[in-house]
Amino acid sequence: MCNGKNEFTAEELRKNVRVPKSVEEKLRTIVEKCLERSGIYHRVISRIKTAESLENKYKKKSYDENRKIQDLVGIRINVYFEDDLRICRNIMEMLFGEAEWSVSSVPDEEFKPQKINGVFKLPEDLKNMISDETWDYFIDDTFELQLKTIFFEGWHEIEHDMKYKGSDLWSGKGDRARYFNTILATLELCDKSIVTLFDNLGHDLYHERNYAGMIKAHFRIKMQDEELYPEIQELFDADHSVENLPKRVFKTKREDLVYALLETPGKFEINVNTVVAVINRKVMHDPEITRIMNDRDVFGRNSRSADDEMGYDLRLPEYMSTFNAEVDLDTTASDKDEKFASAVNIIYSWFYNKFSGVLTSMSETPGFVDIEELGFRIKCEVHEEDRFFICESKSLDGREPGRIWVTSAVVMDNGSDRLHLSVNNGFSYYPNKNDKSDVTGEFSCPRFYRQIASQIGIIDYVKCGTTHCVVNEEQTAEIYKLLTASSRTFPLVFVVSKNLLADAKLDESWLGTFALRYVQEKAGHYAHFCRIHLAQSEILLQMLIDNHVGYEVDDADRCAQGVLVVRPKEKGVISCEWFSEEHVKTCKFASFDSISHLMPFKQHDSGKAFGNELLQTLRRMNNDVDVYKIIG
């Protein structure tokens, strides 16, 4: 356990900070698969910090709740071309969401490796595989991602060990240090020169009408060897217009091609012909190229059987909801304007930070926005006098080709003392018969919603984030109002205990290692929680009967302690899910693995497993709605 002095031994850390190797491997696989689809030349290296490395880190620096270790798991991406650093940075944010980036500044007169480090939140399913004791050691639930060019990668390790850590070696040896720096200057020149070289080579090949070579040199992405279709070569040769077809291919930005490759659905080989097809689809829209590519089946789709793939005919994709909220904000008549402005700024800042790297014309402040680029669209309107704000986006998913994320947020005056907040997040996709991934297990709550819940407060009939305790009839009457409220949109979790302690507090020792607080911290902004005495729960159910409110609870469970999850009332009926005391104590639960399959929780006690099952139940209930949002 934490001793407050940051003086932890390697032995103690090895025992309590346990990160399965599969966490590192799955994280690296996610990154590699995405970069392979982009065509970028790259190498990916990963590591888990050893107990000895952590021990040294604690000795050198002081950590606390406000300053935590953020690189327990590390990923390093080495790219071959300098301009891929920025592109990779954007792709990683598409893949993992927002990041805290740190870029080392290098004065004009100095030469040193530039560090580009990003800190991302660990995917929830990977975080859950790490031992719970880990978080007691001021370690954050994040991973660090480093970006470097391949030239600087080797140099950086030498510079770090022999110059940064070994600064005493260079004392009084200015001529040696200067010579050392000239090597770094040469490497920086190499990074810039190789990009210039291929750009010039591509221009030369364009004028020589070697269009296959032009494509390879100009775009500098990993392609399979294949000759340019003769029909495309003839079409290019015959076009003598000022803005001819090969010139338009050459003028296409390299980063636009990379993003277009990520957006293109299905599996296909990257070669000169598929590159022309993708550019034509996204930029040129030339009907003759389209005809040739269709006749040639450039993406190899017609050669696959109907059982191999789905979704390439023109039809609407399916929509999968990942988070929904229809709530009021905790406002009064006197502070509505102030909290409207606050909510708008929180929401717009999230959209701006997420998309401004791609949609570069976005303004930093909320306003009227309507921008569309390859694979991205954002619309925003603000009417301050009417207290109305809407922001919607569509964006490609860099990890799952063919998937488009749709996010919308609306803040509006509901005519009373409160403001109303509507949030919808989800994605459109084409299901594949051979893809066994269970997309219904996905949950993605935008961070701006959690910020609003924390900074402003949200109302779902009552304020969310508080725990109700019911041990007498007066409290039962109050919780009955929440239970039956037609305006309640979130599920209500009852933890039912049959015994009271001497001070009239509930005896919850039967819960064992199940930590309700863990679930509340995760789901308190989209669920209600109530601790209740068994006698009062029986009264509550009888009140439902007396008032002719339909409910679905087995009579055998009415006289037992356990956990009851109650959905919002629908068509006069309140439906429930019941988890018995035995289930809580013996639960074995599997969590959805967003990469490819189900991975069991590596938990040795059932209380922690049930906590995860309850959390997934609440998330499933949140997603179980009929919502379909289309922008413009």
Q: What is the mean pLDDT of residues 159-163?
A: 58
Contact partners, residue 77, CB within 8 Å, separation at least 6: 31, 35, 42, 43, 44, 88, 92, 145, 146, 147, 148
Using alpha carbons only, give the angle 176, 178, 179 rounded to the nearest 5 degrees: 65
Highest mean pLDDT among 62-66, 304-308, 432-436, 460-464: 460-464
In degrees and rounded to multiples of 5, residue 117 shows phi and psi of: -120, 135
DSSP state of 137: G
Q: Which of 616, 612, 622, 621 is nearest to 515 (CA)?
A: 612
Q: Which of 7, 1, 130, 153 is nearest to 73 (CA)?
A: 130
Question: Does residue 546 carry a pLDDT above 80?
Answer: no
Q: How far apart are CA 249 and CA 279, in angstroms?
A: 7
Q: Which residue has the tokens 């209740």?
A: 532
Neighbouring C-beta atoms of residue 347, cutoff 10 Å? 26
Highest mean pLDDT among 4-18, 163-177, 261-275: 261-275
- In which region does residue 97 sit, left (phi positive, over 0), alpha (psi from -120 to 50) or beta (all else)? left
Question: Does residue 602 carry a pLDDT above 50?
Answer: no
Highest mean pLDDT among 108-112, 327-331, 482-486: 327-331
Q: Which residue has the tokens 């940075």?
A: 89
Distance of CA 475 to the CA centre of its chain: 40
pLDDT at 559: 67
Q: Which of 421, 487, 489 is nearest to 456 (CA)?
A: 421
Distance of CA 99 to the CA centre of its chain: 10
Average pLDDT over all residues of the chain: 83
203 or 3: which carries more pLDDT confidence?
A: 203
pLDDT at 401: 76
Q: Give me 286's structure tokens.
A: 């030339």
Question: Does residue 172 carry a pLDDT above 70?
Answer: no
CATH topology of domain 461-623: Glutaredoxin (3.40.30)
Q: How far apart are CA 569 and CA 579, in angstroms?
A: 20
Q: Which residue has the tokens 């720096």?
A: 181
Q: Give me 257's structure tokens.
A: 């091609």
Using alpha carbons only, give the angle 95, 97, 103 rounded to the nearest 5 degrees: 95
Spatial contact of 454 and 491, defined as CB atoms under 8 Å apart: no
Q: How far apart are CA 482 and CA 489, in angstroms?
A: 10
pLDDT bucket at 314, cuts 50 / 70 / 90: low
The per-residue pLDDT for range 440-491, each reduced to its tens digit, is 557 889 999 999 999 999 999 999 988 899 999 999 999 999 988 888 999 9
Spatial contact of 348 and 342, defined as CB atoms under 8 Å apart: no
- Domains 10-176 and 461-623 alike in fold: no
The type of residue at 518 is Y
The type of residue at 71 is D
Q: What is the mean pLDDT of residues 275-290?
A: 92
pLDDT at 325: 93
Q: How far apart are CA 464 and CA 457, in angstroms?
A: 7
Q: Which residues of 87-121 are buried (b: 16+ CB within 10 A; e: fewer)?
A: bbbbbbbbbbbebeeeeeeeeeeebbbbbbbbbbb
Candidate CATH numbers 3.30.365, 3.40.50, 3.30.530, 1.10.1200; the one for domain 318-458 = 3.30.530
Question: Does residue 305 carry a pLDDT above 50?
Answer: no
503 or 258: which carries more pLDDT confidence?
A: 258
Q: Which of 414, 183, 396, 374 is nearest to 285 (CA)?
A: 374
Q: Give me 564's structure tokens.
A: 């009851």
Question: Does residue 399 carry a pLDDT above 80?
Answer: no
Q: How far apart are CA 465 and CA 456, in angstroms?
A: 12
Q: Which of 408, 393, 406, 409 is nearest to 340 (CA)?
A: 409
Spatial contact of 611 and 519, defined as CB atoms under 8 Å apart: yes
418 or 167: which carries more pLDDT confidence?
A: 418
573 or 298: which carries more pLDDT confidence?
A: 298
pLDDT at 151: 73
pLDDT at 308: 47
Q: How many residues does the chain have?
A: 632
Q: How far apart are CA 442 and CA 124, in angstroms?
A: 10
Spatial contact of 254 and 308, defined as CB atoms under 8 Å apart: no
Q: Which of 488, 465, 446, 493 is nearest to 323 (CA)?
A: 446
The per-residue pLDDT for range 352-375, each reduced to its tens digit, is 999 998 898 999 999 999 998 888
Q: Give me 292's structure tokens.
A: 């040739």
pTM of the model: 0.51
Question: Does residue 600 carry a pLDDT above 70?
Answer: no
pLDDT bucket at 209, cuts 50 / 70 / 90: very high
In degrees and rounded to multiples of 5, residue 66 shows phi and psi of: -95, -15
Q: How far apart are CA 217 and CA 223, in angstroms?
A: 11
Q: How far apart are CA 170 and CA 177, in angstroms?
A: 7
pLDDT bucket at 164, cuts 50 / 70 / 90: low
Could you tell me the residue ranges of all domains in the chain?
Answer: 10-176, 208-296, 318-458, 461-623
Q: Which residue has the tokens 């009552």?
A: 462
Question: Does residue 230 carry a pLDDT above 90?
Answer: yes
pLDDT at 309: 44
Tell me the angle at which helices 272-279 and 211-219 cross, rounded to the nearest 10 degrees. 80
Question: Does residue 135 carry a pLDDT above 90?
Answer: yes
pLDDT bucket at 424, cuts 50 / 70 / 90: very high
Query: Percentage of residues in the chain with pLDDT exceeding 90?
Result: 47
DSSP 12-37: HHHHH----HHHHHHHHHHHHHHHHH
Query: Percentage of residues in the chain with pLDDT exceeding 70?
Result: 82
pLDDT at 563: 92
Q: What is the mean pLDDT of residues 248-272?
A: 91
Q: How far apart are CA 567 and CA 527, in angstroms?
A: 10
Q: What's the burial of 67, exposed, middle or buried (CB within 10 Å: 0-12/13-18/19+)?
A: exposed
Question: Does residue 279 carry a pLDDT above 90?
Answer: yes
pLDDT bucket at 390, cuts 50 / 70 / 90: very high
Please tell me the CATH code under which domain 10-176 is placed.
Answer: 3.30.460.10
The per-residue pLDDT for range 38-60, each reduced to its tens digit, is 999 999 999 999 999 999 889 88
Q: How far apart are CA 58 and CA 110, in angstroms?
A: 31
